[in-house]
Amino acid sequence: GENVEQHPSTLSVQEGDSAVIKCTYSDSASNYFPWYKQELGKRPQLIIDIRSNVGEKKDQRIAVTLNKTAKHFSLHITETQPEDSAVYFCAASPSGSARQLTFGSGTQLTVLP
């Protein structure tokens, strides 16, 4: 089955700096890669996603890049703000089972004011 590895497990940045979180996946059949943000005690919230026919997607301060050859994808957050502090999860799902997500282990992002 699919295996998703996520790095780093913790990340601290100064407010205004950029943050990058990286994930690798094992199943070359995976073609959907969402990122979720989970604040303490709250539900995971979808913040951005990318499909395998796209190499990069951007939404305001957040961007995701995908390298299918290397089987890795990354989340980029620019101009970080204290409210960006949360746990971020990457995930992957195979073609035909888009709702069966395999999650990475999560990254605790702390934005220092």
Partner 1 sequence: KAGVTQTPRYLIKTRGQQVTLSCSPISGHRSVSWYQQTPGQGLQFLFEYFSETQRNKGNFPGRFSGRQFSNSRSEMNVSTLELGDSALYLCASSLALQGYEQFFGPGTRLTVL
Binding site for partner 1 (CB under 8 A): 1, 32, 34, 36, 42-46, 49, 51, 89, 91, 93, 97-106
CB-based contact 111:82 (threshold 8 Å):
yes
In which residue are the tokens 């957040």 written?
Answer: 62
Which amino acid type is present at position 6?
Q
Q: Can you say whether the dihedral through the CA atoms of 6, 8, 12, 15 is positive or negative?
A: negative
Q: Decide whether 1 or 113 has the Cβ nearer to partner 1.
A: 1
Length of the chain: 113
Q: Decide whether 34 or 80 has the Cβ nearer to partner 1.
A: 34
Shortest gap between Cβ of 74 and partner 1 (angstroms)? Answer: 19
Shortest gap between Cβ of 93 and partner 1 (angstroms)? Answer: 7
Residue 27's H or E segment, with its range, is: none
Q: Can you say whether the dihedral through the CA atoms of 91, 44, 41, 82 is positive or negative?
A: positive
Shortest gap between Cβ of 79 and partner 1 (angstroms)? Answer: 25
> What tokens appear for 79 in the block?
């101009």
Q: Decide whether 35 or 84 has the Cβ nearer to partner 1.
A: 35
Shortest gap between Cβ of 20 and partner 1 (angstroms)? Answer: 20
Q: Decide whether 48 or 111 has the Cβ nearer to partner 1.
A: 48
